Chains A and B, each alone.
Chain A
Amino acid sequence: MNMPTSSPHEPVIAINGLSRRFKSKLALETVSLAVERGQVFGLVGANGAGKTTLIKHVLGLLKAESGFVRVFGRDPVAEPVAVLSRVGFLSEDRDLPGWMRVDELIRYTRAFHRAWDSAYAERLREQFQLDPAARIKQLSRGELAKAGLLVALAHRPELLVLDEPSSGLDPVVRREMLEAIVRTVADEGRTVFFSSHLLDEIERVSDRVAMMAKGRVVLQGRLDEILESHFRLTLRFPTPPPAQPKLAGALHLTGGGLEWTALCNGARGELEAAAAVLGARIVEDTPASLDEIFLARMGGERSISDQLQPKVK
């Protein structure tokens, strides 16, 4: 199968204005993002944010209602063979055929990939301690995830798509899985597009992050830039403010009495000036974690949607 390779400068995944509705529920709303070659792209969001729906569009399992999806410059719905032969996928629900044996699964998957690396597959099988004679339905959740990762990795795909790879796994298996993914990227410079709601996992391995809420991408960028651009300011007021203070540029404000903490995303100088206008003094300026940024962004989303709700008298 000689598939023409897309240009090295072209994004591996390009999504533009993608929307999708399931009956009355808007699952994706004008989502746009690009995943560059060699990147580890983490998709983060709460349950029901639209991560799996987005991944299904990338794999061509769902058709774009509006907007477009291109993987290696191709439409995954129109050209599934050209796209899927270069993709390794691990699904969240790990729906491998329960009646198969592990060795049958490996043999079966191998038939679809010319670039299948048997030695690598065997090494992974030994590393993951998978019994070749075991039936898939008899595997534990962790073993099932490992079996899924094995068949997703063994043909050395150019793009690895992982939907909640650590969902329901214990910390030991999670670490093993992440190490295998990281090695894939580090050794071979592959592209990884993965979703998770485990922020420490995203923080550990991602180069670039997109945060999703209610079908929309609310924030995306390089992980280091996101972390740098967000910080936490602790404000001290001379007297307790009568209501929650409104600090321009603050995404989220918590606290009470004299001391309030704001998670901010903006120019420090402007925030200091805004704090001075309120009569507050900045007593602490610390970097924000991805976890805090996520919560602040999600909180923001919630408050925006709350504002949209009609008021009930």
Chain B
Amino acid sequence: MNSPAAALAWEIWRKNRFGFLLLLVFLVVCLGLSRLATHFAAEASRLSSLLPAAAAEVIEANARATDWSSLAGWWSGVLLGLSLLVTLAVFAFAESSRMRGFSGIPARLFTLPVPTGRLVAVPLVSGVCFVALLYFAWSRLVLAPILPAELTLPDGYFLLLLSAALAGFQTLVWTLPGFPRTRATLLTLLVSSVAILSALPFAELNRWSERMPALMAIYGVSLVAAPFVAWLGVAQVRKGEWRDWPALTALLNRLADTVSRRRDFAGPAAAQFWIECRRNGRLALWSLAVVIFFILGVNAILLLDGRAYGRASLDAVYGPVLLFLVFIWTPVLGLMVCGEAATRRLPLMTFQATRPVAVGALVSAKLKAMLVVWLAGWLLAALSVGLWAMWSGQLDAWYDQFYRERDLVIVGVLSLHFLFGLFPLWLTGRVPGLPWSFVVLLIVYVGLGNVIGWFGRHPNWRETALLLIGFAAALKLGVAFLAFRQALKQKWVRRDFVFGSVSIWVVGTGFCLWLALRFMGRGDWDDTPLLPLAVLVFPLARVALAPLAMAMNRHR
């Protein structure tokens, strides 16, 4: 290591070894799945050409090929998405501080005799090269063999999009450390835009062949402009001239002060609830509002352009909002509440750990805050989609979504399940925070989805499925009992915590069972596993384990 550039590149590698290893593991796993899916598809095709279509061997080979193809498709999609998020996190090249949130380029590097241009160029160029390599590895090794023959990936488009996205991400992170709110908003918009732009080549409604050259030109210009903007911005930060914008900061502070706490708290529980809501809730709701606003904005442009209309216009808003709300925002909210949103760390701050309250009070405050912010998120989403429906004349369709369609209720219950995610594990504070814990959570849920899907496709394994569900339900209740008993014995929680949690679980599970019975009555659901599954949905064991986990965090 005899040059500053090599030292900077080494630092990126050294700090993110775990991330790079994770990327490799994702690739290898999906490569294996892709190869297996291809092998079983070839085997099914070979048998189909030799034997009649009704032959048992052919049916079995086709079923196996479908299973593996579905497995490979699911995991490849999810792990590729996660790989790109991990790549953004790795090459953001930022460090967090407990007091001031996460920085841009670490300020300690500004004291080294390295030109700003090189400080910017090393992570930027290495990041762009890495993301291009990553894309090629996935596209050639994993995706190409499992994609349908009629579908080809536009490599040039994706290469430019991903490179420009990474460079844009880095530029925003580095140039705006003094403007955390603006930066969070712009980063959310950037990631949302990239998600939408990635789906464009596969969407049906767009005029793809007309749009592609224009979009690629925009990405190219962004990619070329990003290093200059980043260099200018970092140079300003380095000189200390871009840290603050007094007039804007004062205005934002004044706005924030209008909702600052001016009354005394009724007691420790109220104070603890306030701090949990305040430190994570605002950021969570703000990011949700930004994404919803973005989705509405894109749709408004399409609507004004006269290309989306009728029920399709509501679905174009409702679908993405729901997807973001349930699969991204909700689990991230659960993760944020367990730690500190600004720093993305899970260990308890000393300031919090030394509050003279029991562990149960700390957990209760987190649970209450999490549920309140989650409900506020749903309300915000419902109102936004409602306003959109009113504006686009689709109020009846919006009303249907709430009162006549069962999907929303199921999605709501599932969302609550996602909210609790790996709650006790996160509360221990002994696992990494965002984005790593989110990655693990998604992997767990995709794995569960695969297992449920597999049993759905193999009805002859229903007995085993029921046995497994029964075992899981018994395990859940057993764990909850033991965990509550231990927490009571250690005086971490009071009896009312246990009573409240169990009561909420009984009511929630009753509601899930009632729903399951209604769907069974309609006859459009496979009824056997529905009831035991309904018992599993509402969280209890995770709530019971939470005080134990928090005690591990507080008393290390």
On A, residues with C-beta under 8 Å from B are: 59-63, 77-81, 83-85, 87, 89, 91, 93-99, 101, 103-104, 107-108, 110-113, 133, 135-137
Contacts and interface: CB of A to CB of B under 8 A. Distances in A.
B556 A98 contact: no
A93 to B, nearest CB: 7
A194 B358 CA distance: 25
B310 to A, nearest CB: 45
Contacts, number: 95
Interface string B250-270: 000100010011011111101
A78 B490 contact: yes
Interface string B65-108: 00000000000000000000000000000000011110000000
A96 B100 contact: no
Would you call the interface of chain B mostly helix, strand, loop, or mixed? Answer: loop
Contacts of B490: 78
A137 B99 contact: yes
B358 to A, nearest CB: 6
Interface stretch (B221-229, B346-354, B369-377, B468-476): B346-354
Interface stretch (B143-151, B271-279, B540-548): B271-279
B356 interface: yes
Contact of A111 (B270, B278, B554, B555): B270
A97 B261 CA distance: 14
Given A98-B101, A133-B257, A112 B271 contact: yes
B100 A137 contact: yes
Contact of B99 (A63, A78, A98): A98
A91 B349 CA distance: 11
Given A93-B350, A97-B275, A80 B265 contact: no
B365 to A, nearest CB: 12
B355 A84 contact: yes
Contact of A97 (B265, B279, B358): B279
Given A78-B490, A93-B350, A136 B99 contact: yes
B357 interface: yes
B554 A107 contact: no
Contact of B351 (A96, A104, A133): A96
Contacts of B342: 98-99
B261 A61 contact: no
A112 B268 contact: yes
A95 B349 contact: yes
B350 to A, nearest CB: 5
A112 B555 contact: no
A108 B274 contact: yes
A80 B267 contact: no
B516 to A, nearest CB: 42
Nearest to A144: B99
Contacts of B279: 97, 99
Given A97-B349, A101-B260, A61 B554 contact: yes
Nearest to A155: B356
Contact of A61 (B99, B271, B358, B555): B555
Contacts of B354: 59, 61, 84, 87, 89, 91
A108 B253 contact: no
B556 A91 contact: no
A113 B98 contact: no
A87 B355 CA distance: 10
Contacts of B98: 93, 95, 98
A53 B142 CA distance: 50
Contact of B356 (A77, A93, A95, A112): A112
A80 B268 contact: no
Given A59-B353, A89-B350, 8 more contacts: A60-B555, A78-B490, A80-B359, A80-B554, A84-B354, A94-B99, A96-B351, A104-B261
A77 B358 CA distance: 10
B275 A108 contact: yes
11 contacts: A59-B354, A61-B555, A93-B98, A96-B351, A97-B351, A98-B99, A108-B265, A111-B264, A112-B271, A135-B253, A137-B99
Contacts of A84: 354-356
A107 B357 contact: no
Nearest to A89: B354
A78 B359 CA distance: 11
B443 to A, nearest CB: 28
B261 A107 contact: yes
Query: What 7 A-B pairs are tightest by C-beta distance, nearest first?
Result: A111-B271, A84-B356, A111-B265, A85-B356, A98-B99, A77-B555, A91-B350
A60 B257 CA distance: 35
B264 A107 contact: yes
A104 B260 contact: yes
Contact of A80 (B100, B264, B351, B358): B358
Contact of B555 (A62, A104, A137): A62
A103 B491 CA distance: 33
B261 A63 contact: no
A95 B345 CA distance: 13
Contacts of B263: 107
Contacts of B265: 107-108, 110-111
A61 B350 contact: yes
Contacts of A79: 491
Contacts of B491: 78-79
Nearest to B101: A98
Nearest to B492: A80
A91 B354 CA distance: 10
A80 B356 CA distance: 7
Nearest to A116: B264
Nearest to B278: A99
A87 B353 CA distance: 13
B556 A63 contact: yes
B356 to A, nearest CB: 4
Given A62-B556, A137-B100, A111 B267 contact: yes
Nearest to B249: A138
